């Protein structure tokens, strides 16, 4: 196994990203402004969350576990972007590669994500690993000249293929790069954030993103964002799915992180549930909000907190009222 260390940080590139801010960045800026403008309101909200005792949270565990069993089932795969890496599940290395690209592009409507990423891999003759190994930007850039998906365009994809080619040539897998990126003596509790930060810096060659699309694609925890798509990718790779319910996540990564290290992928469904269940007193899509929600999940199941992502996501997707969870019998 290759154990190289990512290149030391170079001077930051003077190339500036596009002047437009991503929705994540705008939301973060707005949230910071709101916090400064109305600290009293934020304090009241936090106090409301703290009003639920540890015993009351623990009483929810059987109800939440029942929802995990209901929603974390193999049938879930057929309607979710995770179905795309499942098409390559017989080859772990290809599955990891496909899962990462799929996760990065997983924003917007799920049906459009699935259609877009499926078409993207058709451009590689459905052999993305072989395509990656032989990728030549001068020759192959034309394949992506018509690619457009919301904030991302063909040049963003060309850059992504180039950097992933570097990662696999130097480290053999994304897990190896992630592990090598974490500074020595990093406390276990900080490994997730440090890993995402340093992994992202390595893929970007320690430069600022070259375009608005790349800035959006490579969300960075040091900027305060929840990094929803990267945390979803890590859930796919790290969680060791066991019965009851059935296998959904792959559990391919064995050394980089433990399931207990993971952070909930903070999407609109989880935020909607948060407003009613008061898992966090925050209402912004930030890393801190995801951390506070995960802390409650960790209280219910320390060894596998993000399994509850399935419970709340499925519950919200079915348009069920969050109050039902509070009324459910244990």
Give the residue carrying structure tokens 């948060």.
274
- Domain assignment present for residue 16? The answer is no
The answer to whether the CB of 128 falls within 8 A of the CB of 135 is no
The answer to whether the CB of 310 falls within 8 A of the CB of 269 is no
Instruction: Indicate if 161 and 85 belong to the same structural domain.
Output: yes
CA distances (Å), 112 to each of 104, 108, 151, in order? 14, 7, 14
Confidence of residue 51 (pLDDT cuts 50, 70, 90): low
pLDDT score for 309: 96
CA 33 centroid distance within chain: 25
Give the residue carrying structure tokens 């969680």.
239
- Domain assignment present for residue 4? The answer is no
Instruction: Indicate if 66 and 167 belong to the same structural domain.
Output: no
- Domain assignment present for residue 268? The answer is yes
**Rounded mean pLDDT of 151-168?**
97
- Domain assignment present for residue 3? The answer is no
The answer to whether the CB of 248 falls within 8 A of the CB of 241 is yes
Instruction: Indicate if 47 and 138 belong to the same structural domain.
Output: no
The helix (H) or strand (E) run that includes residue 152 is strand 152-153
Rounded CA separation 197/314 (Å): 29
Instruction: Indicate if 142 and 196 belong to the same structural domain.
Output: yes
* pLDDT for 260 beyond 90: yes
Query: b vs e for 138-164, b when ≥16 Cβ sit within 10 Å of the residue's Cβ?
Result: eebbebbeebebebbbbbbbbbbbbbb
Query: Where among 230, 256, 282 does a domain terminate?
Result: 256
Give 325 or 238, the one with higher predicted confidence. 238
Number of H helices, E strands in the chain: 18, 2
**Rounded mean pLDDT of 8-14?**
41
Portion of the chain with pLDDT greater than 70, in percent: 83
Rounded CA separation 161/179 (Å): 21
The helix (H) or strand (E) run that includes residue 153 is strand 152-153
Query: How is residue 305 written in tokens?
Result: 């907190």
pLDDT score for 322: 79
Query: Where among 204, 227, 256 does a domain terminate?
Result: 256
- Domain assignment present for residue 292? The answer is yes
Instruction: Indicate if 103 and 239 belong to the same structural domain.
Output: yes
Each residue of 100-150: pLDDT tens digit? Answer: 999 999 999 999 999 999 999 999 999 999 999 999 999 999 999 999 999
Instruction: Indicate if 159 and 222 belong to the same structural domain.
Output: yes
Instruction: Indicate if 158 and 61 belong to the same structural domain.
Output: no
How many separate domains does the chain show?
A: 2
* pLDDT for 59 beyond 50: yes
Give 209 or 291, the one with higher predicted confidence. 291
* pLDDT for 175 beyond 60: yes
Look up the pTM and report it: 0.83
Query: Where among 206, 230, 256 does a domain terminate?
Result: 256
Instruction: Indicate if 89 and 162 belong to the same structural domain.
Output: yes
* Span of 35-39, 154-158, 198-202 with lowest mean pLDDT: 35-39
Query: How is residue 290 written in tokens?
Result: 């995801």
Instruction: Indicate if 187 and 317 belong to the same structural domain.
Output: no
Instruction: Indicate if 205 and 315 belong to the same structural domain.
Output: no
Instruction: Indicate if 130 and 235 belong to the same structural domain.
Output: yes
Domain span holding position 59: 36-71+263-330
- Domain assignment present for residue 17? The answer is no
| Measured CA angle at 238 (ends 255, 111), to 5 deg | 150
Instruction: Indicate if 106 and 210 belong to the same structural domain.
Output: yes
């Amino acid at each position: 196994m290759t154990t190289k260390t990512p290149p030391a940080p170079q001077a930051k590139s003077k190339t500036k990203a596009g002047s437009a801010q991503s929705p994540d960045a705008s939301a973060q800026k707005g949230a910071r402004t709101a916090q400064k403008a109305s600290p009293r309101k934020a304090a009241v909200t936090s106090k409301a969350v703290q009003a639920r005792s540890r015993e009351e949270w623990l009483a929810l565990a059987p109800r939440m576990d029942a929802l995990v069993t209901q929603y974390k089932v193999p049938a879930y795969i057929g309607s979710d972007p995770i179905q795309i890496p499942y098409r390559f599940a017989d080859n772990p290395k290809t599955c990891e590669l496909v899962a990462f690209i799929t996760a990065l592009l997983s924003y917007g409507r799920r049906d459009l994500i699935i259609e877009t990423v499926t078409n993207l891999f058709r451009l590689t003759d459905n052999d993305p690993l072989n395509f990656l190994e032989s990728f030549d930007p001068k020759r192959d850039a034309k394949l992506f000249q018509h690619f457009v998906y919301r904030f991302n365009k063909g040049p963003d994809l060309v850059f992504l293929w180039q950097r992933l080619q570097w990662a696999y040539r130097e480290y053999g897998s994304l897990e190896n790069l992630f592990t090598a990126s974490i500074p020595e003596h990093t406390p276990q509790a900080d490994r997730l954030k440090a890993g995402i930060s340093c992994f992202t810096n390595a893929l970007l060659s320690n430069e600022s993103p070259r375009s608005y699309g790349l800035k959006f694609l490579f969300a960075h925890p040091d900027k305060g964002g929840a990094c929803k798509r990267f945390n979803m990718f890590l859930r796919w790779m790290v969680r060791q799915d066991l019965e009851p319910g059935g296998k959904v996540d792959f559990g391919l990564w064995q050394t980089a992180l433990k399931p207990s290290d993971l952070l909930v992928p903070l999407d609109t469904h989880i935020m909607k549930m948060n407003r009613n269940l008061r898992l966090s007193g925050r209402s912004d899509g930030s890393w801190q909000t995801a951390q506070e929600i995960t802390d409650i999940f960790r209280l219910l199941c320390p060894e596998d907190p993000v399994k509850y992502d399935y419970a709340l996501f499925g519950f919200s997707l079915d348009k069920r009222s969050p109050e039902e969870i509070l009324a459910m019998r244990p």
